[in-house]
Amino acid sequence: MIGIFRQKNPGNGLLILVYGLVLKLNYLIQPRPLLRQAEDHYLYVLLLKGLEIMQLPLFVLGIISFLLLFIQAMVINKICIDQKMLPKPTYLPGMAYMLITSLYADWNYFSAPLIVNTLLLVIVYRATLLYNSQKPLADIFNIGALMGLATLVYQPAIVFVLLLPVMLFIMRPFRIREWLLALLGVTAPYYFLALEPLFTNRWAWRHLAPSVSIDLPAMPSSLPIAISILLLLAPFIIGGYFVQRHMSKMLIQIRKAWSLILTLLVISLLITLANGGSNYLNWIFCLIPLSVFHAAAYFYPANQKFPLVLHWISFAYALLVGYWLG
């Protein structure tokens, strides 16, 4: 399986779809009700009300969730190929993302963090293009606006605003105009939504302003959770070692892309401290950068037996979670 996804074969996109279906079919057959959290924000609450009015069958929402995960996997793969983050074009990042999102059941259901993850991937993709952008001001404003939308879907996503200055520092020479434009983009969605209370005669700014509290993330409360975390951390450490080892051979643009991915991981870890709660749903933000490091762990080792064993252990456990423990 690792050997197949190591190759740049257009058919591997379809194979990732089948691979994901094998891992996640049970989530489609036995869908759960819509996930609701206290941290859900204005736009997601509005979306839930619309879905309740439409009375869509739960399996339809399951299909939408699966397609979102598949699209996210393909965007991650495109970022890695376009930015040449691995020495050869490969479909390992997409495969790794489909695999690690199967290590915890709630990551496969329709939720505000799942939607924010899609927006976050678009932001990261557009950010990697800033290095050679012909229209940087428009791109930076659009990135900021997408970030603002993300905060209106899920309140702790406000932490991702910290990504904007670091992203601009990594990908662009310092220009204060660009930094201010990014901040303006973040606030743009709020300007439009602020008009809604005026027309409805219900002025209440608090229902738009994100509310975030700092709390300790949920600690592993069971053996399955501890195993899932171990299967996330072990390939990340291995992949990080190989990336660091080959960093000196990479072009400056590739190093910038890896720096952006590592920054995203650090800020995603901060979100686990924001409204930590008792579950691991907001840990899904960490899976975007982790999947890229996992791909490096599968790609770089000279002895391919080790990546094979690592993959099949993770795959077998993901099946166990999806069909019995989930």
Question: What mean pLDDT do residues 263-271 have?
Answer: 91
Assigned token pair, 187: 């606030």
If one counts every other C-beta atom within 10 angstroms of the C-beta of residue 71, the result is 12
What are the tens digits of pLDDT across the range 208-263? 667 666 666 666 677 888 899 999 999 999 999 999 998 888 888 899 999 999 99
**Average of per-residue pLDDT values in the chain:** 87
What are the tens digits of pLDDT across the range 199-210? 555 555 566 667
Question: Considering only CA atoms, which of 232, 230, 242 is closest in space to residue 287?
Answer: 232
Q: What is the pLDDT, as a whole number, of residue 203?
A: 56
Q: Could you identify the residue written with the tokens 């390939």? A: 235
Of all residues in the chain, what percent carry a pLDDT higher than 70? 90
Q: What is the pLDDT, as a whole number, of residue 121?
A: 94
Q: What is the pLDDT, as a whole number, of residue 277?
A: 58
When mean pLDDT is compared across 6-10, 251-255, 315-319, the lowest value belongs to 6-10
**Per mean pLDDT, which of 43-47, 191-195, 218-222, 314-318 is the most reliable?**
314-318
